[in-house]
Protein backbone atom coordinates (compact mmCIF):
# COMPACT_ATOMS: atom_id res chain seq x y z
CA UNK A 1 0.00 0.00 0.00
CA UNK A 2 1.16 3.48 -0.89
CA UNK A 3 -0.21 6.37 1.12
CA UNK A 4 0.22 9.60 -0.84
CA UNK A 5 -0.24 12.69 1.36
CA UNK A 6 -0.34 16.19 -0.08
CA UNK A 7 -1.69 19.59 0.83
CA UNK A 8 -0.67 23.17 1.37
CA UNK A 9 2.14 24.21 3.69
CA UNK A 10 1.41 23.99 7.44
CA UNK A 11 -1.52 21.54 7.07
CA UNK A 12 0.22 18.72 8.92
CA UNK A 13 1.43 16.45 6.12
CA UNK A 14 4.63 15.53 7.95
CA UNK A 15 2.79 15.10 11.25
CA UNK A 16 0.28 12.74 9.61
CA UNK A 17 3.07 10.80 7.88
CA UNK A 18 4.87 10.42 11.22
CA UNK A 19 1.68 9.23 12.95
CA UNK A 20 1.09 6.73 10.13
CA UNK A 21 4.68 5.50 10.37
CA UNK A 22 4.13 4.88 14.08
CA UNK A 23 0.71 3.25 13.55
CA UNK A 24 1.37 1.12 10.45
CA UNK A 25 5.18 0.81 10.62
CA UNK A 26 5.39 1.94 6.97
CA UNK A 27 8.49 3.95 6.05
CA UNK A 28 7.92 7.37 4.59
CA UNK A 29 9.54 9.55 1.98
CA UNK A 30 9.46 13.31 2.38
CA UNK A 31 9.33 14.97 -1.02
CA UNK A 32 10.90 18.01 0.69
CA UNK A 33 13.96 15.92 1.56
CA UNK A 34 14.22 14.72 -2.03
CA UNK A 35 13.85 18.35 -3.21
CA UNK A 36 16.57 19.65 -0.94
CA UNK A 37 18.92 16.78 -1.81
CA UNK A 38 18.58 17.55 -5.50
CA UNK A 39 18.95 21.31 -4.96
CA UNK A 40 21.92 21.09 -2.57
CA UNK A 41 23.72 18.51 -4.73
CA UNK A 42 23.51 20.82 -7.73
CA UNK A 43 21.36 18.41 -9.73
CA UNK A 44 18.93 21.25 -10.44
CA UNK A 45 19.12 25.01 -10.65
CA UNK A 46 15.69 25.31 -9.05
CA UNK A 47 15.31 26.91 -5.63
CA UNK A 48 12.95 26.04 -2.77
CA UNK A 49 10.71 28.93 -3.87
CA UNK A 50 10.09 27.52 -7.39
CA UNK A 51 6.93 25.62 -6.39
CA UNK A 52 5.31 25.01 -9.79
CA UNK A 53 8.61 24.16 -11.47
CA UNK A 54 9.50 21.87 -8.56
CA UNK A 55 6.25 19.94 -8.97
CA UNK A 56 7.03 19.47 -12.65
CA UNK A 57 10.61 18.42 -11.84
CA UNK A 58 10.00 16.20 -8.80
CA UNK A 59 6.74 14.47 -9.69
CA UNK A 60 8.19 12.19 -12.42
CA UNK A 61 10.78 10.96 -9.91
CA UNK A 62 8.22 10.47 -7.13
CA UNK A 63 5.79 8.79 -9.53
CA UNK A 64 8.40 6.19 -10.50
CA UNK A 65 9.35 5.59 -6.85
CA UNK A 66 5.66 4.90 -6.16
CA UNK A 67 5.39 2.52 -9.11
CA UNK A 68 8.53 0.67 -8.04
CA UNK A 69 7.27 0.26 -4.47
CA UNK A 70 3.94 -1.10 -5.74
CA UNK A 71 5.66 -3.50 -8.14
CA UNK A 72 7.88 -4.70 -5.27
CA UNK A 73 4.81 -5.06 -3.00
CA UNK A 74 6.27 -2.61 -0.51
CA UNK A 75 4.39 -0.25 1.75
CA UNK A 76 5.39 3.40 1.64
CA UNK A 77 4.09 6.75 2.81
CA UNK A 78 4.98 9.63 0.48
CA UNK A 79 4.29 13.15 1.70
CA UNK A 80 4.78 16.56 0.23
CA UNK A 81 3.11 19.42 -1.60
CA UNK A 82 4.63 18.58 -5.00
CA UNK A 83 1.82 16.33 -6.25
CA UNK A 84 0.00 17.53 -9.38
CA UNK A 85 -3.78 17.79 -9.37
CA UNK A 86 -3.98 15.23 -12.20
CA UNK A 87 -1.67 12.70 -10.47
CA UNK A 88 -4.03 9.78 -11.21
CA UNK A 89 -3.47 10.12 -14.96
CA UNK A 90 0.11 8.88 -14.42
CA UNK A 91 -1.04 5.49 -13.09
CA UNK A 92 -3.03 2.74 -14.74
CA UNK A 93 -5.28 0.11 -13.20
CA UNK A 94 -2.26 -1.94 -12.08
CA UNK A 95 -1.23 0.82 -9.68
CA UNK A 96 -4.25 2.86 -8.61
CA UNK A 97 -5.83 0.24 -6.29
CA UNK A 98 -2.61 0.21 -4.26
CA UNK A 99 -2.59 3.99 -3.66
CA UNK A 100 -4.47 5.75 -0.88
CA UNK A 101 -4.57 9.47 -1.63
CA UNK A 102 -4.96 12.10 1.10
CA UNK A 103 -5.10 15.84 0.51
CA UNK A 104 -5.02 17.87 3.72
CA UNK A 105 -6.45 21.36 3.61
CA UNK A 106 -7.67 23.95 6.09
CA UNK A 107 -10.84 25.94 5.71
CA UNK A 108 -10.64 29.71 5.70
CA UNK A 109 -12.56 29.79 8.99
CA UNK A 110 -10.13 27.34 10.58
CA UNK A 111 -7.19 29.49 9.51
CA UNK A 112 -8.91 32.62 10.85
CA UNK A 113 -9.67 30.97 14.19
CA UNK A 114 -6.40 29.07 14.67
CA UNK A 115 -3.63 30.97 12.87
CA UNK A 116 -1.42 31.33 15.97
CA UNK A 117 -1.82 27.64 16.74
CA UNK A 118 -0.97 26.69 13.13
CA UNK A 119 2.25 28.72 13.25
CA UNK A 120 3.02 27.40 16.71
CA UNK A 121 2.98 23.81 15.44
CA UNK A 122 5.19 24.34 12.40
CA UNK A 123 8.20 22.62 14.01
CA UNK A 124 6.29 19.83 15.77
CA UNK A 125 7.89 17.00 13.79
CA UNK A 126 10.88 18.61 12.12
CA UNK A 127 12.60 21.87 12.91
CA UNK A 128 11.62 24.69 10.59
CA UNK A 129 13.23 28.07 10.56
CA UNK A 130 10.52 30.61 11.31
CA UNK A 131 8.84 31.46 8.04
CA UNK A 132 8.27 35.20 8.26
CA UNK A 133 6.56 35.03 4.86
CA UNK A 134 3.83 32.75 6.24
CA UNK A 135 0.79 34.96 6.68
CA UNK A 136 -2.85 34.27 7.35
CA UNK A 137 -3.75 35.52 3.87
CA UNK A 138 -1.01 33.41 2.29
CA UNK A 139 -2.25 30.27 4.05
CA UNK A 140 -5.81 30.98 2.93
CA UNK A 141 -4.66 31.46 -0.65
CA UNK A 142 -2.51 28.31 -0.69
CA UNK A 143 -5.22 26.15 0.86
CA UNK A 144 -7.79 27.45 -1.63
CA UNK A 145 -5.47 26.49 -4.50
CA UNK A 146 -5.19 22.93 -3.19
CA UNK A 147 -8.91 22.62 -2.42
CA UNK A 148 -10.02 24.00 -5.79
CA UNK A 149 -7.40 22.13 -7.82
CA UNK A 150 -7.93 18.71 -6.30
CA UNK A 151 -11.72 19.09 -6.22
CA UNK A 152 -11.68 19.96 -9.93
CA UNK A 153 -9.66 16.78 -10.44
CA UNK A 154 -12.37 14.82 -8.63
CA UNK A 155 -10.40 14.17 -5.46
CA UNK A 156 -11.69 14.08 -1.89
CA UNK A 157 -10.21 16.65 0.48
CA UNK A 158 -9.58 16.00 4.18
CA UNK A 159 -10.78 19.44 5.20
CA UNK A 160 -9.75 20.70 8.61
CA UNK A 161 -12.67 22.87 9.69
CA UNK A 162 -12.82 22.80 13.49
CA UNK A 163 -10.97 19.96 15.22
CA UNK A 164 -7.48 19.39 13.85
CA UNK A 165 -6.67 16.32 15.96
CA UNK A 166 -10.01 14.69 15.18
CA UNK A 167 -9.52 15.20 11.43
CA UNK A 168 -6.06 13.63 11.53
CA UNK A 169 -7.29 10.85 13.80
CA UNK A 170 -9.98 9.83 11.30
CA UNK A 171 -7.28 9.49 8.62
CA UNK A 172 -5.39 6.95 10.73
CA UNK A 173 -8.31 4.49 10.62
The CA–CA distances, whole Å, from 91 to 5, 39, 67, 68, 71 equal 16, 27, 8, 12, 12
Confidence of residue 130 (pLDDT cuts 50, 70, 90): very low
Whole-structure pTM over 0.75, yes or no?
yes
Where is pLDDT greater, at 147 or 126? Answer: 147
Confidence of residue 117 (pLDDT cuts 50, 70, 90): confident
Share of the chain above pLDDT 70, in %: 94
Average pLDDT, the chain: 92
Summarize pLDDT for 50-94 with one digit per residue, the tens.
Answer: 989 999 999 999 999 999 999 999 999 999 999 999 999 999 999
pLDDT surpassing 80 at residue 17: yes
CB neighbours (10 Å) of residue 107?
17
Tell me what the mean pLDDT of segment 133-153 comes to: 94
- Sheet architecture: strand order including 2-7: 28-30, 76-79, 2-7, 99-106, 158-160
Amino acid sequence: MIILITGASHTGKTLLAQKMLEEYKYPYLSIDHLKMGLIRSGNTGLTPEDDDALTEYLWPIVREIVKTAIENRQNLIVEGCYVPFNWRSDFDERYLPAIRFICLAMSEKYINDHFGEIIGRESEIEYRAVDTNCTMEGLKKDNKIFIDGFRRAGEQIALIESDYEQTLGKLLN
